Amino acid sequence: MIDDDEMELRRLAIRRADMRIAFRSHLVAYAIVNAGLTAIYVATSFGHYFWPIWPMLGWGIGLGAHAAAVYMDGEGLRDRMIQQEFEKLRRSRPRPPL
């Protein structure tokens, strides 16, 4: 039988795997859409102002933020902050008389 700690670790592992899968989907969409925009640029106005740079940069900022949240242990930071707040609330709660 699986104990509560094992279930909590499994839940956390599933959540982190889902976050990585979501980021990879975001990255693939970014690559496909921007490749399409570049193809449109090449087919219509090659040699002129490279306008696809603006959606690439704008979306790239969002993609970078998503990557930071997934791979720079942003969730671990959140978990630590939740634990700290929980402990603070536990200490400040009035205790019932014995």
In a domain, 73, yes or no: yes
- Mean pLDDT over 31-57 rounds to 96
Long-range contacts of 69-78 (CB under 8 A, 24+ apart): 69/19, 70/19, 70/20, 70/22, 70/23, 71/23, 75/15, 75/16, 75/19
Q: Is residue 98 part of a domain?
A: no
The range of the structural domain enclosing residue 66 comes to: 4-92
Is it the case that residue 38 has pLDDT exceeding 90? yes
Number of domains observed in the structure of the chain: 1
Overall pTM > 0.85: no
